[in-house]
Amino acid sequence: MAERPPAVVHPPSPTGGQRVTVRGQIASLAYGAVDLREFQRRAGLDPDEVVLDDAALIEWRGGGPDVWM
């Protein structure tokens, strides 16, 4: 069975932002790529080495790295 990416960006919330989970733990709401990179840094991932469209590192649900609400 394939491993799941460590980060999941969930569909946009009706009130704005997208919930982010890192390694199964809710990180917070992200309003853009800067927020997502900060959550990854806090989880021990190197945000400078993370490519936002790398499916091995981030699972996007309801959009992608260019879609922010």
33 conformational bin, left if phi > 0, alpha if psi -120 to 50, beta if neither: alpha
User: What's residue 10's pLDDT?
Assistant: 94
Report the pLDDT averaged over residues 6-32: 89
Say how many C-beta atoms besides its own lie within 10 A of residue 3's C-beta. 6
Arithmetic mean of pLDDT over the chain: 85
User: What's residue 56's pLDDT?
Assistant: 85
The full 3-state SS of 14-28, as one line of letters, equals CCCCEEEEECCEEEE
Report the pLDDT averaged over residues 40-68: 83
Q: From CA 56, how far away is CA 48, in angstroms rounded?
A: 16
Q: From CA 43, how far away is CA 48, in angstroms rounded?
A: 13
Q: Considering only residues 67 and 13, tell me which one the structure prediction assigns the higher pLDDT.
A: 13
